[in-house]
Amino acid sequence: MKCYLVTGGAGFIGANFVKYILKYAPEIQLIVLDALTYAGNLGTIASDISDNSRCVFVKGDICDKELVNKLFEEYPIDCVVNFAAESHVDRSIENPQLFLQTNILGTQNLLDGARHHWVTGKAENGYPLWKSNVRFHQVSTDEVYGSLGTGGYFTELTPLDPRSPYSASKTSADLIVKAYADTYKMPVSITRCSNNYGPYHFPEKLIPLIIKNILEGKQLPVYGDGSNVRDWLYVDDHCKAIYTVIEKGREGEVYNVGGHNERTNLEIVKTIIHTIYQILSREQHYRAMLKKQTILADGSIDISWINEGLITFVKDRLGHDQRYAIDPTKITNELGWTPQTMFDEGIIKTVRWYLDNQAWVEEVTSGDYQKYYEKMYGDR
């Protein structure tokens, strides 16, 4: 049995990855390390931990040297999959230092932990000799490439040009991973993915925030003129790509992950409005969860207000990247990965998941979320 140390496994993509591996890769045992920041929720993976001897949870910080060393001593870790990060661009504009701390120094601390436990000796040329079949996998982002105009795609050869404190910290993490590969010949890989969507996405990010606001009868904040483009990928497709790269990808390589699904933010918001409206038109029981309850003459709950009139254009994000678009040719040609879930299907699945899992939304937003929302959107 192989053993993966999955950091950030209580967050959006990490939790989906934990579920993906438990379902599709019976040969792998998981140690999940997560600090449970505002973005991490143990409830998301509670059943995966309690029902499964293949999955152990450890609460802790990736920057904690002692803890990381202890984990390597305690468990036969063959692979580190590093999801743990501060992940929200808007928060990085407010508090850059935390992003540098977690995303750069945390990654470096994990690299060192792995290096100390995976090096078995020294070759004649002075380079370390590595335990066989080990891998440090860094989960990175397309944001390291900066921003595109109307044409072109990010390939693995696109120069790094991060523009926000978040993307600068992720780029720095990629470079320190590369430095360990070049300097110590550490077996590493990196995936750079476009925007994910799907279950367990924290409602500070565009898609779950818009769903939540509609259900609460609130305005839908669109930054700037809504023309910014993101390239959306269903989260399970990302999980499959990461697993494929770890198991089959070449050491030392970067693989871009994306599904050729570019949409403007305005299109995304309109699609969500129409999807919710259609589901609630047909399945009336969902209307009971709306905060705005106007009863019509026929006794049904009014949903006519769920329309594009909810859209509010608000002050733009500072340094807002205009367009991201991934060219996934390398991972498709080399490893046979292609996305399975098309956007039209994925967005319906996602909206339904949120309608059916309001308790999860309430749980994860019960802490500082209201304060955050007021601070971020109050003066926009």
- Regarding 141 and contact with ligand NAD (CB under 6 A), the answer is yes
What are the backbone angles phi and psi of residue 145, rounded to the nearest 5°? -85, -5
Q: Is 86 an annotated catalytic residue?
A: no
The item of ligand DAU, ligand NAD, none sharing an interface with residue 12, based on CB under 5 to 8 Å by kind, is: ligand NAD
Stretch of 189-197, 217-225, 242-250, 270-278 contacting ligand NAD, by CB under 6 A:
189-197
Q: Which two tokens stand for residue 203?
A: 């409602």
From CA 275, how far away is CA 272, in angstroms rounded? 5
Cβ proximity to ligand DAU, 29 vs 189, nearer residue: 189
Closest CA to 142 of 118, 125, 163: 163
Cα–Cα distances in angstroms (integers) from residue 322 to residues 146, 163, 222, 226, 256, in the given order:
9, 11, 14, 10, 19
Question: For ligand NAD, which residue of 4, 5, 6, 11 counts as binding (CB under 6 A)?
Answer: 11
Q: Is 142 an annotated catalytic residue?
A: yes
From CA 228, how far away is CA 327, in angstroms rounded? 18
The item of ligand DAU, ligand NAD, none sharing an interface with residue 14, based on CB under 5 to 8 Å by kind, is: ligand NAD
Stretch of 84-92, 113-121, 145-153, 208-216 contacting ligand NAD, by CB under 6 A:
84-92
Is residue 21 within 8 A of residue 350, CB to CB? The reply is no
Is residue 181 within 8 A of residue 355, CB to CB? The reply is no
Catalytic residue among 61, 78, 86, 142: 142
Pairing of strands 119-122, 79-82: unpaired
Query: What are the E-state strand segments in 211-285?
Result: 220-223, 229-231, 233-234, 253-257, 262-264
- Regarding 52 and contact with ligand NAD (CB under 6 A), the answer is no
Q: Is 316 an annotated catalytic residue?
A: no
Q: Tell me the CA end-to-end span of the chain in Å, nearest whole number.
A: 51
Binding footprint of ligand NAD, residue count (CB under 6 A): 31
Cβ at position 128, least distance to ligand DAU in Å: 31
- Regarding 5 and contact with ligand DAU (CB under 6 A), the answer is no
Cβ at position 39, least distance to ligand DAU in Å: 10
Chain residues in the site for ligand NAD (CB under 6 A): 7-8, 10-14, 33-37, 39-40, 61-63, 83-87, 102, 106, 139, 141, 170, 193, 195-196, 202
Supply the residues annotated as catalytic.
Answer: 142-143, 166
Chain residues in the site for ligand DAU (CB under 6 A): 87-89, 141-143, 194-195, 205-206, 209, 221-223, 228, 230, 265, 317, 324
